Chain A
């Protein structure tokens, strides 16, 4: 069974640009969550999608957005990039929404903003 796949793995952008990251969950998983990981702030929850609907949202500005498609693949977008957006963005999938299940993480997309 293929794991969670995130693309691209590495990318470099400049301030003011926008970026789109993609996440393909494990086959059959309908919930996708996104986390931002930085050395200073640790792992911070961005949002969760289940069946194309956003179920939960973290405390990030509106520049951070996401969506989920009918095949459960998810994308997140960050507009008007700032230096502080440099981070590892992790996607996690699970069978269902909710919190008793195990989260399966991808290897992340490392974004550097110059």
Chain B
């Protein structure tokens, strides 16, 4: 079975500062990894995904994440955040099997201070 741990439930950061949201996963098999964002009163939207290939993945809205197999991590980064990035961010994992379900972390609430 797979599991996801998001180490920070809340991350406050000033506008235009860099941010890193941490995600660690556990799995006995190879996995696919995702980051989703949920804006207030909305559903989730895919930010980026790692399936294979380059370990540095670029997503929408200037976000990127790096897959680190040895540390079983998939941290999300943005060099300069904007007020509009205020949202909850979810890391998710699924095993290679086509029948596997996607497991979400508990989420990290990113709050941007002006």
The reply to whether A42 and B106 form a contact with Cβ atoms under 8 Å apart is: yes
How many residues in A have their beta carbons less than 8 Å from beta carbons of B? 22
Min CB distance, A8 to chain B, in Å? 15
Candidate in A35, A90, A99, A107 with the most chain B CB atoms within 10 angstroms: A99
Report the Cα distance A106→B42, complex, angstroms.
Answer: 8
Is residue A66 contacting chain B, with contact meaning CB distance below 8 A? no
The reply to whether A99 and B43 form a contact with Cβ atoms under 8 Å apart is: no
B18-26, B62-70, B76-84, B91-99 - interface stretch: B91-99
Chain B's interface: helix, strand, loop or mixed, by majority? loop
Report the Cα distance A4→B95, complex, angstroms.
Answer: 25
B97: chain A residues within 8 A (beta carbon):
99
Is residue B46 contacting chain A, with contact meaning CB distance below 8 A? yes
A90: chain B residues within 8 A (beta carbon):
43-44
Min CB distance, A45 to chain B, in Å? 5
The reply to whether A99 and B100 form a contact with Cβ atoms under 8 Å apart is: yes
A108: chain B residues within 8 A (beta carbon):
43
| CB-based A-B contact count at 8 angstroms | 57
Closest residue of chain A to B96 (Cβ to Cβ) is: A99
Interface size class of B (residues with CB under 8 A): 20 to 34
The reply to whether A58 and B45 form a contact with Cβ atoms under 8 Å apart is: no
A4: chain B residues within 8 A (beta carbon):
43
Is residue B101 contacting chain A, with contact meaning CB distance below 8 A? yes
B104: chain A residues within 8 A (beta carbon):
35, 42-43, 45
The reply to whether A103 and B32 form a contact with Cβ atoms under 8 Å apart is: no
Q: Which one of A45, A55, A106, A107 lies within 8 Å of B102 (CB-CB)?
A: A45
Given contacts A35-B104, A55-B99, A106-B43, 6 further A-B contacts (CB under 8 A): A42-B104, A42-B105, A45-B104, A58-B101, A99-B96, A105-B44
Give the interface of A toward B (CB within 8 A). 4, 33, 35, 42-43, 45, 48, 55-56, 58, 90, 92, 97-100, 102-103, 105-108
